[in-house]
Amino acid sequence: MRILWAKSSPPRKVLSLSKTRIAVFVSGGGTNLQALIDAAKRGEIPSGEIALVLASNDKAYALTRAAENNIPSVVVKRKEFETQLAYEEAVKAVLAENSIDMIVLAGFMSILSENFTAAYPKRIVNVHPSLIPSFCGKGFYGLHVHEAALAYGVKVTGATVHYVNEIPDGGEIILQKAVEIEEGDTPEVLQRRVMEQAEWILLPKAVEMVAARLQKGQ
């Protein structure tokens, strides 16, 4: 586990006047992280603050985005731990040290078990690049989702923000937005359109909804 820059503070309960402290989990480029950062700068997440970026690998460009925006970050690699339980306990410790109230999975490729998700009921959200329950679940991530949508011939796809539980993409849906599939779309072109027209719009809205609920102690 490698901490790039993180400050510690004692665990606390979310208070009505305190902003919900958010950890964004990443593995790659961090485009959804950037969407959240930009939304926060525009004042669209008034109930929350991005307090930590947690990456599954130290080469994730998302870490650069965090550094450029003065957000504490930490790298926790699954391969550095003998068991999934040990890995998840290490992640929990980092979250506790940073008084995190809420987690956003933004292109996070490491698996989280029920042991972890059950510890944060309705406090973990994920954005998925399809209209769940279509093209979701095990094996459906990144370009694979858009490849499947185009192969099936659907005319509409989109994105979904949902709570995270032990079932891949199986948690309660928070928000969805449809995106038209156009003639000549490739998986890469469709991926970009879904991000621009759905993911980057929905995710900040959903994060604010959950952050506001937690801020009220609900």
In Å, what is the CA distance from 182 to each residue of 60, 129, 136, 179, 191? Answer: 31, 16, 21, 9, 12
Pick from 92, 102, 26, 24: nearest CA to 57: 26
Which residue, chain included where needed, has tokens 């987690």?
A: 103
Q: Spell out where the chain has E strands.
A: 2-5, 20-26, 48-55, 73-75, 102-105, 124-128, 156-163, 173-180
Q: Is residue 149 within a helix (H) or strand (E), and if so which, with residue range? A: helix 143-152
Q: 128, 144, 146, 162: which is the annotated catalytic residue? A: 128
Question: Is 144 a catalytic site residue?
Answer: no
Question: Active-site residues: which are they?
Answer: 128
